[in-house]
């Protein structure tokens, strides 16, 4: 378990200590979630969530976003990354035409 602050609502461990700790590891595959998606990319609710996940994004060979289709209608305030930086987005259903086009343009695979 990495050090940091426990976010009670999501049971996430976040913060500078978490990010620094994760910088020491690499992964073959990184599965992650997000707060929101739109045609501009992938978003989190706050900077600490995003920064902690960014640490693993840069150290993983394959990046897979697990994101249900309702996330398109949720507000995310801090940009985690673009579609171009992930390999696969797995969802329960397709997103809007705008988001699906952004995925295609980025070369990111989609599976529902």
Q: Which domain holds residue 76?
A: 5-111
Q: For the chain, how many structural domains are there in total? A: 1
Identify the band that residue 17 occupies on the pLDDT scale cut at 50, 70 and 90. confident
Q: Dig out the tokens for 73 from the structure.
A: 């209608």
29-85 tens-digit pLDDT: 999 999 999 999 999 988 888 989 999 999 999 999 999 999 999 999 999 999 999
Strands, sheet with 41-44, edge to edge from the N-terminal-most edge strand: 36-38, 41-44, 78-81
Residue 15's pLDDT band (cuts 50, 70, 90): confident
pLDDT, position 111: 97
């Amino acid at each position: 378990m990495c050090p940091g602050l426990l976010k009670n609502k999501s049971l996430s461990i976040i913060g500078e200590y978490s990010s620094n700790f994760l910088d020491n590891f690499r992964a073959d595959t990184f599965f992650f979630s997000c707060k929101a998606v739109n045609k501009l990319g992938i978003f989190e609710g706050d900077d600490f969530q995003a920064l902690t996940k960014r640490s693993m994004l840069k150290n993983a060979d394959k990046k897979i976003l697990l994101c249900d289709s309702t996330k398109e209608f949720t507000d995310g305030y801090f940009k985690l990354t673009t579609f171009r930086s992930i390999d696969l987005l797995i969802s329960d259903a397709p997103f809007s035409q705008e988001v699906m086009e952004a995925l295609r343009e980025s070369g990111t695979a989609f599976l529902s």
